[in-house]
Structure 1
Amino acid sequence: MKMSSFPLELSEGDRPMIRFMHVHKNYGHFSVIEDLNFDVAEGETVSIIGPSGSGKTTVLRVLMTLETISGGVVYIDGKPLTHMARNGVFVPADERHLRQMRSSIGMCFQHFNLFPHMTALENCMEGPVQVLGLSKREARDRCEDLLSLVGMIDKKDQHPSRLSGGQQQRVAIARALAMRPRVMLLDEVTSALDPEVIGEVTNVIRKLVTEHKLTMLMVTHQMGFARDISDRVCFFYGGKIEEEGVPDVLFGNPRRERTKHFLSAVKEAV
């Protein structure tokens, strides 16, 4: 589609929190995402599953503006993320526009990425103070509330090396929330955790959905986690959504052969 075919802003009546509209992502002649049309509603929790190379992580990287796209447009709350309007036409987004749009998006990674020389509280305060310009007192109050929410207030003065994997992941979630995002992206947040602590992170995420009404998009290889936490699960294959549905239906009665094969292979690997 020509860029002139895309709306400069989505209308109020058709405004999901996330929209991929005819998005392509190519590396040379290799297509990672192919004509992707994909919505996530405000307050919805969606998991993306699929084999390696299916494009699922690229979706998150595009939303975090870590990757540019080769075609199409991505919208956040009705506003273009990947592009901006100039003189009534679309042009690629500049760094100022990307920085403004990123302020509504938070992300947690598989390996936590906490600053090792900072305490749990200091890790959470860094962004609000340095990026949002909050005073240290305001940031401390906000971050202590969030550490309480994720069950880590008693560890606020501990450095990451003194925390378990599950505890570090909960601090990382609080740190992302301290920036007050409307969209939370979770990239394999349970993959580096022992099975017995996955439940505690799942409980924290469920509480966030209830109390903060966040829109969440998660990539995971852990089917139990996806089934337990999601409103909708999307199976990606070849850079497209091969099949999607509510967890009980997609996992219990998949329609597509590729979905059946993938779920069977995952089950056998467990």
Structure 2
Amino acid sequence: MDNYASYPVELTGHDKPMVRFMHVTKSYGPLTVLDELNLDIAEGEMVSIIGPSGSGKTTVLRMLMTLETINGGVIYIDGKPLTHMPKRGVLVPADAGYLRRMRRNIGMCFQHFNLFPHMSALHNCMEGPVHVLGLSKAEARERAEELLEMVGMIEKKDEHPSRLSGGQQQRVAIARALAMRPKIMLFDEVTSALDPEVIGEVTNVIRKLVSECKLTMLMVTHQMGFARDISDRVCFFFGGRIEEQGPPEEFFDNPKRERTQKFLSAVKEAD
């Protein structure tokens, strides 16, 4: 059982990371999915997470979205605890209201888009800013149109998801997440449900985000070439821990750990 009196109530200083996992553990009964994970991600950094199935990589994103509770440790966002909140100078488990407020800092794009089927692309992007952030409909429309323009979907703004291809739906999903003005964007295998010919549509949008926005981004992906091309750092997860990490050129060209070498070799053979 963690002694939460030993964790800082807030991270301070100019060098505080945008995301910090501090001794984070997640288990389902006897199965440990994340084992004392320590991971810092700097403001504006793009980190790709790779690894075999069951290694804990998607769990990292789900915990940042507070879709999963943690069994030990603390997650911090921009210096403030995400999973816990201060009470009388000590951290206690966060209540629903605190989690809601903290979750506004984080946007996520899933494999399967999760767009509202009864709404147009435009209204999908307006819904959150109006009902969660309290923007007027005029302000939300202006923001939504600006973002749909950025992802190349402004001409489809009045179409419903059923009238859009998978790549188009995913680009609308990215615009919808960005409409909430998050500090952090999470991408969970966003190209894995797409046909090969439209994967480029989505990867180009993410490239644009990386080059033009100062967002902190985490991406779980099985596309090694894309991870190499777009990341500041690549983390290889194995058995609920970070087995190896580093800049993409070093990581892919000269992996140090035997497990990393085996994984990358298996991926090359599969391709």
TM-score, normalisation: structure 1 = 0.98
Q: Percent identity?
A: 77
CA distance in 2, matches of 1:148, 1:132: 21
Does 2:251 correspond to 1:250? yes
Does 2:206 correspond to 1:205? yes
Q: Look up the equivalent residue of 1:13 and give its one-letter code.
A: H
- Partners of 1:46 and 1:216 within 8 A in 2: yes
TM-score, normalisation: structure 2 = 0.97
Alpha-carbon displacement from aligned partner over 1:51-106 (angstroms, at most 9, x marks no partner) = 01100011001000011111110000000000001011110000011001001100
- Aligned match of 2:165: 164
- Aligned match of 2:25: 24
SS of the counterpart of 1:157?
coil
Superposition map of 1:76-91 within 5 A: 76-91=77-92
- Aligned match of 2:63: 62
Q: Look up the equivalent residue of 1:109 and give its one-letter code.
A: F
CA distance in 2, matches of 1:87, 1:264: 52
RMSD: 1.0
CA distance in 2, matches of 1:251, 1:40: 20
CA distance in 2, matches of 1:162, 1:28: 43
SS of the counterpart of 2:242?
strand
- Aligned match of 2:7: 6
CA distance in 2, matches of 1:208, 1:157: 24
Q: Look up the equivalent residue of 1:75 and give its one-letter code.
A: Y
Cα deviation, residue 115, structure 1: 1.2
SS of the counterpart of 1:113?
coil
The total of aligned residue pairs comes to 270
Cα deviation, residue 206, structure 1: 1.7
- Aligned match of 2:263: 262
Cα deviation, residue 30, structure 1: 1.4
SS of the counterpart of 2:228?
helix
Q: Which moved more, 1:188-197 or 1:62-71?
A: 188-197
Superposition map of 1:100-115 within 5 A: 100-115=101-116
CA distance in 2, matches of 1:162, 1:227: 33
SS of the counterpart of 1:192?
coil
- Aligned match of 2:148: 147
- Partners of 1:24 and 1:33 within 8 A in 2: yes
Q: Look up the equivalent residue of 2:90 and give its one-letter code.
A: V
Show structure 1 runs of 5+ residues with no match. none
- Aligned match of 2:215: 214
Q: Look up the equivalent residue of 1:225 and give its one-letter code.
A: F
SS of the counterpart of 1:19?
strand
SS of the counterpart of 1:66?
coil
- Partners of 2:210 and 2:230 within 8 A in 1: no
